[in-house]
Structure 1
Amino acid sequence: MIPRPFGCRSIALKKAQQSHTFRAFYATIRGLRQPPSAPEPDELPPPDNDFILSILRANPSLRDTRSYLASFGGPRPQQIKKSLAPTPSTNTSPTQEIVIPPPPSERIESTAKSISATTSEFPRSSPIIASILNPVIRRTALVKVQGPLTDVQLDSISRGLVYLEKLGLVSVIVVENDEQYRGEQDERTAIVEETMRVVSSLEKQGARARPVVGAVVRLGPKPGDEEDIDAKDFIPPESHAFPSDLTPIRSALRAGEIPVIAPFALDSFLRSVRVDANDVISGLARGMVEASALDKSRENTQDGYSEFSAEIDLTPLRLMIISREGGVPSYARSGYPHLLINLASEYNHIHETFEGKWRYTKPSALSNLALARTCLNYMPPTSSAIMVSHKSPSALIGNLITNKPAVSSSLPHALLQGNRKLTPHTPTLLRKGLPVRILRSTAEIDKAKLNHLLEQSFNRELDEEAFYKRLDETLDCVIVAGDYAGAAIVTNEPSSTPFSAPISYLDKFAVLPSHQGDGTVDFLWVALHDETYGLGHPFSANPNGGRGGVGEGRDLVWRSRANNPVNKWYFERSTGHIRLGSWVLFWCDAEKRLKIEEGRRGSAGLSYVEEWEKGRLERWTDVVMKIPSSWK
């Protein structure tokens, strides 16, 4: 079955194409009516099997599972004889759980037994789910819990964090309350009480938690920062932490407890003062990464520090910002949150397009955006940050397992507009990302790097001379992500019909294997959309160095081998496709033209075959199928 993104039409090809049939799927205008939206799952009382359902809703792919296991699976230790295994108790330490994993997760077994009959259709012995439910390695996440929050809201958040702990991700929580102003009487007492509220809520959900009300970071730049000129536009955080400052956090993690930290820091006089939670988190992000690197270096020496090998890895794998506000509002989605943010290329643009009214409705959006940028600068490249509303705790599980946004940002704009998953509480996923730039001539291309990218991505040898000779004659643009981590090559192919405009053809779309799954694919496709078939819309004015949204979009056409595993991804992003023997021809309609046509016809909608559509498939097929191969 071919997936049907919303509406579909059938057209018969003439002459040579009469034996082929196809369905053109128009996600841009047709079929956008949706039934009344049901309540969000997280707004309903949680069922007993909520944890299992949250994993199933994440719908992890094999690639997602491999990525998860790379972080949490690790080499599984030899199973110790059952007679030697300690009797399970509530005091079993995390180290014991790692060394002697229960088969295949006794903690989840009782939960799984309570799954109702309505979920019995899901396979119980799914290897993907089984591997996710049996983590070996424990990792950490930095979490900002930003209040004020009611007890019900706090319980919802705590439930999500407890679920993450079951999957191997242990939260290091920093508490913030926006209504607790600086300098008020009994300020410290109020902050400590808020910290204890979070501890009590976690324990209510079955976790073990420990309040940390002493300062774990120090104010001011870290000694030596003034000599660090590594990043031109990056300013180090206004706080730092030495390995010795992290002792309370280490102690809690060793004991199997979730540390809940009050936003205090040591000033230059070694006094504990209240600071913004963002200062604590940014200092911890850097301090935990540096301490983890020090631990690993000591493990490889004979200096008596081998005990660190059994500890939870301090390097934060995720940054989670949980508040009543949720994600960062987007001008392209009428104030609904961004789905995925490439901080390397979009940070300044988000500030420039941030509407004044959002400074009142989303007052901490920009400061949390800055926090994510600072932390991700120190965290590993595979790490991500997520800004999520208290109404969507299950989104944290989906993000942990897949490391992807709730809905792909590279889907057609109309699909995003009509998607029930998009609400004011949809989370925003943030990545350090890569800069994106547009090249207009072959003289600007670093051919050695582009050759390496194409050959690594397609696993074939490029016919360089013929390939670049053709680009010299037909190149429209090359969209490059980072240092050739990914590229999209668009050409202008002469039409076979006299006086017809050239065909906008996607010649190559490639991403290095090492960058597949880190968001580069979506960043690249969004830039491709903005420079081709999405051009002319205000939401296409993204900072990629291209046309800035000014111009007329054109239909984008490309071909792919019928057995290409990427075709499923293409099906979801194309307007339509046609099978031509061993090839599949895809296309995306120019969105601005369809929008104008929709407005002209009003409620009548588009006809079965528009005048401008007649004969275009024959023209595309005649030109595209004659394009020579780029490979030897």
Structure 2
Amino acid sequence: MLHCKQQASHLKIPACVRRAPQHVFRAPLATVRGSHKFDVEDIEHDRSTNDFILSILRSNPSIRDTKSYLASFGPRQVSPAIPKTAPPPGPTQHPVVQPNLGVEEVPQVDVQAAAVTTSPIISSILEPVYRRTALVKIQGPFTDIQLESIATGMVYLEKLGLVSVIVVDHDDWIKGEIGERARVTEEVMRVTAALERQGSKARPLLEPIVRLGPWETDVNEDTDVDIPEAHIQPRDLQPIRSALRAGEIPVLTPTAMDSFLRCMRIEANDVIAALVRGMVKFEGQKDLFTDTSSSEVDLTPLRLMIINREGGIPSYARSGHPHLLINLDAEYHYIRDTFHEPWQGSHPSALKNIALARTCLSYMPPTSSAVVVSHRSPKSLIANLITNKPIVSSSLPHALLQGNRKLNTHTPTLIRRGLPIRVAKTIAELDRPKLKMLLEQSFGRILNEDAFYERLEKHLDFVIVAGDYVGAAVVTTEYSGNTPISYLDKFAVLPSHQGDGTVDFLWVALHDESYGLGLPSSVNPHGGKEGRGHGQDLVWRSRTDNPVNKWYFERSSGHLRLGKWVLFWCDAEDRLKVEAERRAAAVAGTGRRRESPSYIEPAEQDRLGHWADAVASIPSSWI
């Protein structure tokens, strides 16, 4: 913490933070440096600015994260004029071009971490050119102090270019009760006042924006995604556009207008889902020559944020602590089926919130995400915006996750639309052309197809496929003498899908099918072993000069240098658990102090030699 503060004190504060544009903030932020008069207001503003920058530093964005952020908020190249006869573009999407990724090349994580704290990088993050929107549900009840904390998070996001469109909700409201509308109005005004006190401008929108009932086309829509019970027309967005153009955060009531033009309170989730669908649809249909000046905000939602008192979605695999990252396409139904009864009391809105995220993300661009976060963690929204990642990677070893002090009952849950995950056990189940294309694009090399599949015929254990071959993990069974070895032969993700969560989704599935077998967290419906069996030590290799080895170091149990290669492995986690329990029982029986594990356990004798022999004999798959 001290290190961060020392770095922040030497940063050159960008002009956009010292002097905020009048159309964005109510009062410009100023530092006390160079000022002749030090009053309380200046000191508070300076403290707020430093706190804001420290929040960015704590998010620890990599160079890749910064580039991804700038793809949405930074300056862009001016494209040639498009003829009026051209078809209108769809919702704005900004694919992130990443380095190649393969078994020797996994996504780079903070390779130049020191560069993150330099002035140019921070300046680029703090000086957004384009403004985007986030749909935010503030799910009370909250005290005034809690609302102040939430408002601080909203103002920080606004400084980074993400403007919130807020819908107020309250768990204690009873539909149809006397004085209902007055209570809704009072809560909207409380949120508005909290935002104003934090230096932002807010506009309460007390009249309904959405209309009751689904779209006519929804009746025949074939989907298992929940259909919103409300909809909007293009002109209904005018109050929101007006507020955003004036630099104000719109704060909406959870109400709708019925066919008789009466105001009806409805579920806040239906209001948000209707807004998301309408904002995506009608923003994509804007005229190509519509004003795109700095006063115009792109209405296509970049994030869905649900701020509540209970925190993230509880996980069956983490003893009720929240999920870190959810792949909706692969996990949604299983999460609902494994939702424990006690959580209905501790997290009463969790299932509704994950259903809301599923509905909204089905309309939002593929790069979008949703986050469910407690009011205790508003500053974590900054990390989510810049990195679009969970607070801690879900693909880290479970031992590291369980001992991480960042993880508690209020840890945020990041939700992505995700991809289906399936496990193929034979070569006949594979689409060879698609797998070949994936491997060659990921590694940037030409696959020796005949030799590769000839080896798989003899050694294949399983292949995990993400989506339509946007990612794959190929695991084989090798031998050193009569000793079988589980070997990660290929791990690849298309460059266009690096940074969208696919890498973590694929590695978690790899964990479940190999070294994580035998633990409750591995019982996932991917069509593989589904948690049945015993974990196998997983081994793989990487070149010593691979700049992304740090990613491997963080996920492996150990490594060994073998000339031009580095041998990595992950220990079978069920064996580690049994060994830990045996040690604990031995200590309890003797009354002695707990001993540290040996450098090499009895079960590990000679295994490194077997692994090194097997890895050294594996031929190249490339021409």
Of 249, 254, 270, the match for 2:245: 254
> Which residue is 1:417 aligned to?
402
* TM-score, length-scaled by structure 1: 0.82
Residue type of the partner of 2:313? V
> Which residue is 1:280 aligned to?
271
Instruction: For 2:398 and 2:196, locate their aligned partners in 1 and report how far apart those are by CA, in whole Å.
Output: 43
Evaluate the alpha carbon distance shift between residue 324 and residue 123 of structure 1 in structure 2; reply closer, same or farther with a 3 A threshold: closer
Residue 423 of structure 1 and its aligned partner are, at CA, apart by 1.2
Residue type of the partner of 1:51? F
> Which residue is 1:91 aligned to?
none
Residue type of the partner of 2:206? V
Instruction: For 2:50 and 2:115, locate their aligned partners in 1 and report how far apart those are by CA, in whole Å.
Output: 13
Instruction: For 2:534 and 2:292, locate their aligned partners in 1 and report how far apart those are by CA, in whole Å.
Output: 63
Query: Is 1:465 paired with 2:446?
Result: no
> Which residue is 1:513 aligned to?
495
Query: Is 1:299 paired with 2:320?
Result: no
Instruction: For 1:150 and 1:122, locate their aligned partners in 2 and report how far apart those are by CA, in whole Å.
Output: 40
Query: Is 1:616 paired with 2:623?
Result: no
Q: How does 1:327-338 map to 2 (within 5 A)?
A: 327-338=312-323
Query: Is 1:452 paired with 2:444?
Result: no
- DSSP-derived class of the 1:189 partner: helix
- DSSP-derived class of the 2:216 partner: coil
Q: How does 1:504-543 map to 2 (within 5 A)?
A: 504-543=486-525
- Residues 373-429 of structure 1, C-alpha deviation per residue, up to 9 Å, x if partnerless? 000000000000000000101100000000000000000000000001101111000
Does structure 2 retain, via aligned residues, the 8 Å contact 1:576–1:586? yes
- Residues 568-611 of structure 1, C-alpha deviation per residue, up to 9 Å, x if partnerless? 11110000001111111000000101111111122445333211
Does structure 2 retain, via aligned residues, the 8 Å contact 1:219–1:238? yes
Evaluate the alpha carbon distance shift between residue 122 and residue 528 of structure 1 in structure 2; reply closer, same or farther with a 3 A threshold: closer
Instruction: For 1:337 and 1:240, locate their aligned partners in 2 and report how far apart those are by CA, in whole Å.
Output: 32
- Residues 599-629 of structure 1, C-alpha deviation per residue, up to 9 Å, x if partnerless? 1122445333211211111110001111000
Moved over 4 A (4+): 121-125, 305-310
> Which residue is 1:71 aligned to?
72
Residue type of the partner of 1:446? D
Does structure 2 retain, via aligned residues, the 8 Å contact 1:597–1:606? no
Residue type of the partner of 2:306? I
Does structure 1 retain, via aligned residues, the 8 Å contact 2:203–2:250? yes
Of 180, 187, 206, the match for 2:199: 206
Instruction: For 1:471 and 1:242, locate their aligned partners in 2 and report how far apart those are by CA, in whole Å.
Output: 55
- DSSP-derived class of the 1:299 partner: coil
**Unaligned runs of at least 5 residues, structure 1:** 1-45, 78-120
Instruction: For 2:115 and 2:513, locate their aligned partners in 1 and report how far apart those are by CA, in whole Å.
Output: 42
Does structure 2 retain, via aligned residues, the 8 Å contact 1:299–1:308? no
- Residues 422-458 of structure 1, C-alpha deviation per residue, up to 9 Å, x if partnerless? 0111100000000100000000000111001000100
Instruction: For 1:456 and 1:74, locate their aligned partners in 2 and report how far apart those are by CA, in whole Å.
Output: 29
Instruction: For 1:273 and 1:357, locate their aligned partners in 2 and report how far apart those are by CA, in whole Å.
Output: 33
> Which residue is 1:558 aligned to?
540
Instruction: For 1:126 and 1:504, locate their aligned partners in 2 and report how far apart those are by CA, in whole Å.
Output: 46
**Unaligned runs of at least 5 residues, structure 2:** 1-46, 79-113, 585-593
Instruction: For 2:604 and 2:369, locate their aligned partners in 1 and report how far apart those are by CA, in whole Å.
Output: 42
Residue 219 of structure 1 and its aligned partner are, at CA, apart by 1.9
- DSSP-derived class of the 1:273 partner: strand
* TM-score, length-scaled by structure 2: 0.84
Residue 539 of structure 1 and its aligned partner are, at CA, apart by 1.1
Evaluate the alpha carbon distance shift between residue 159 and residue 439 of structure 1 in structure 2; reply closer, same or farther with a 3 A threshold: same
Q: CA RMSD in A?
A: 1.6
> Which residue is 2:59 aligned to?
58
Evaluate the alpha carbon distance shift between residue 152 and residue 306 of structure 1 in structure 2; reply closer, same or farther with a 3 A threshold: closer
Q: How does 1:133-148 map to 2 (within 5 A)?
A: 133-148=126-141
Residue 76 of structure 1 and its aligned partner are, at CA, apart by 7.7
> Which residue is 2:234 aligned to?
243
Does structure 1 retain, via aligned residues, the 8 Å contact 2:116–2:122? no
Instruction: For 2:511 and 2:200, locate their aligned partners in 1 and report how far apart those are by CA, in whole Å.
Output: 45
> Which residue is 1:163 aligned to?
156
Does structure 2 retain, via aligned residues, the 8 Å contact 1:237–1:279? yes
Instruction: For 1:139 and 1:408, locate their aligned partners in 2 and report how far apart those are by CA, in whole Å.
Output: 26
- DSSP-derived class of the 2:354 partner: helix
Q: How many residues align?
A: 533
Evaluate the alpha carbon distance shift between residue 49 and residue 76 of structure 1 in structure 2; reply closer, same or farther with a 3 A threshold: farther
Of 190, 194, 197, the match for 1:197: 190
Instruction: For 1:525 and 1:124, locate their aligned partners in 2 and report how far apart those are by CA, in whole Å.
Output: 29
Query: Is 1:225 paired with 2:226?
Result: no
Of 389, 400, 413, the match for 1:404: 389
Instruction: For 2:547 and 2:436, locate their aligned partners in 1 and report how far apart those are by CA, in whole Å.
Output: 22
- Residues 38-62 of structure 1, C-alpha deviation per residue, up to 9 Å, x if partnerless? xxxxxxxx86621111001011100
Does structure 2 retain, via aligned residues, the 8 Å contact 1:209–1:259? yes
Instruction: For 2:515 and 2:565, locate their aligned partners in 1 and report how far apart those are by CA, in whole Å.
Output: 22
- DSSP-derived class of the 2:134 partner: strand
Residue 239 of structure 1 and its aligned partner are, at CA, apart by 1.5
- Residues 100-156 of structure 1, C-alpha deviation per residue, up to 9 Å, x if partnerless? xxxxxxxxxxxxxxxxxxxxx999752211100110000000000000000000000
> Which residue is 1:585 aligned to?
567
Residue type of the partner of 1:521? V
Residue 311 of structure 1 and its aligned partner are, at CA, apart by 1.5
Does structure 2 retain, via aligned residues, the 8 Å contact 1:76–1:136? no
Residue 306 of structure 1 and its aligned partner are, at CA, apart by 4.7
> Which residue is 2:380 aligned to?
395
Instruction: For 2:377 and 2:294, locate their aligned partners in 1 and report how far apart those are by CA, in whole Å.
Output: 35
